[in-house]
């Protein structure tokens, strides 16, 4: 309602219900109808307790009328307040003997005066509160606090239930897992290669690859993987010129030897690098 004139209201601090239409009238920086009423009351320059509610209602209604003549759209709560004050005024002026039970017009007027007084009182204490010396503004704490070294002693916790369920779950998982794929022992290329390099380093003459490999095949089940990995490693090493390899015919044993320049020079044309030819 009055956001555009509040110098210190930032966007998030604007008081407006989200469902209200955007701002309509410049009510001169008032924080709502009660605030406007308070200002009008202040203009009467009397104790709020002795304020003439009737006069106040007139002033407020006049203000609203003026705004309407200017075709200014007023926030809903101003209009609600205006309606309420018009009602209050009529009851104050024409005491209705058949008025409904409950609060009299005087009670309503007193209630309004009370609300004005309360708003003013909160304004005042808000000012006092903000005037207090504030931390990091007027007073300061230690700028360079010294850390208190925390020595943590872990206290391990676990419950018997944790323990038992962990046990049962593990055992059960294993016992019931009828389609268990046993973990395959797979040689990595690097492993095979390292093993080969170690061996080839010792053998200068043509040697059968199978011979090398068999030494590593602890279990027959591992023969295939070891063979595959080692062969791949061998090809890699041939490509790098570390090794020469040689196979007479398809499915024949594969021979390898350490590649040296002298050997390569002598046996030129024998095993072509990187191929299972000859």
Partner 1 sequence: MARAAERRLIAPDTEPEGRPEELRLLEALLFASAEPLDEKTLAHRLPAGVDVADALKRLQVEYATRGVNLVRVAGKWTFRTASDLAWLMTHEAVQPRKLSRAGIETLAVIAYHQPVTRMEIEEVRGVMMSRGTIDVLLETGWIRPRGRRKAPGRPITYGTTETFLSHFGLESLNDLPGLDELKGSGLLDARLPAGFTVPVPSDDPALRDDEDPLEPGDLDFGLAPPPERVEKG
For the chain, how big is the Rg over CA atoms in Å? 48
Kindly tell me which of 118 and 239 has the beta carbon lying closer to partner 1. Answer: 118
CA dist 278 and 264 (Å) reads 16
For partner 1, the closer CB: 15 or 28 = 15
The distance of closest approach from Cβ of residue 81 to partner 1 in the complex, given in angstroms and rounded to an integer, is 8
Structural contact between residues 204 and 267, judged by C-beta atoms closer than 8 angstroms = no
Q: How far is the CB of 154 from partner 1 (least distance, A)?
A: 5
Least distance CB 67 / partner 1 (angstroms):
17
Of residues 42 and 123, the one with the C-beta less far from partner 1: 123
- Output 132 or 214, the one with its CB closest to partner 1: 132
Q: How far is CA 175 from CA 53, 157, 170, 184, in A?
A: 87, 29, 9, 19
Closer to partner 1 by CB, 97 or 148: give it.
Answer: 148
Largest Cα–Cα separation, the chain:
133
Element (H, E) at 243: strand 243-247
Question: Is residue 52 a contact partner of residue 106, using CB atoms and an 8 Å limit?
Answer: no
CB of 145 to partner 1, least distance (A): 4
| Cβ at position 47, least distance to partner 1 in Å | 12
The order of strands in the sheet holding 243-247 is 207-208, 254-258, 243-247
């Amino acid at each position: 309602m009055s956001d555009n004139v509040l110098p210190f209201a930032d966007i998030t601090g604007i008081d407006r219900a989200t469902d209200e239409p955007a701002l309509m009238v410049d009510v001169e920086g008032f924080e709502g109808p009660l605030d406007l009423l308070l200002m009008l009351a202040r203009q009467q320059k009397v104790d709020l307790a002795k304020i003439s509610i009737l006069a106040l209602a007139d002033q407020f209604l006049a203000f609203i009328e003026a705004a309407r003549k200017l075709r200014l759209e007023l926030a809903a709560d101003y209009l609600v307040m205006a309606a309420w004050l018009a009602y209050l005024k009529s009851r104050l002026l024409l005491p209705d003997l058949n008025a409904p039970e409950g609060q009299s017009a005087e009670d309503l007027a007193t209630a309004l005066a009370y609300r004005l007084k309360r708003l003013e009182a909160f304004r005042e204490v808000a000012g006092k509160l903000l005037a207090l010396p504030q931390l990091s503004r007027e007073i300061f704490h230690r700028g360079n606090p010294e850390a208190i070294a925390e020595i943590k002693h872990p206290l391990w916790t676990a419950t018997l239930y944790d323990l038992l369920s962990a046990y049962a779950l593990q055992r059960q998982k294993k016992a019931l897992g009828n389609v268990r794929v046993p973990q395959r022992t797979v040689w990595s290329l690097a492993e095979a290669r390292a093993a080969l390099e170690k061996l080839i380093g010792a053998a200068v003459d043509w040697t059968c690859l199978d011979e090398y490999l068999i030494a590593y095949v602890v279990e027959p089940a591992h023969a295939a993987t070891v063979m595959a990995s080692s062969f791949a490693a061998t090809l890699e090493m041939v490509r790098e010129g570390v090794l020469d390899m040689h196979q007479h015919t398809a499915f024949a044993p594969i021979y390898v030897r350490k590649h040296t320049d002298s050997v390569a020079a002598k046996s030129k044309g024998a095993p072509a690098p990187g191929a299972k030819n000859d």
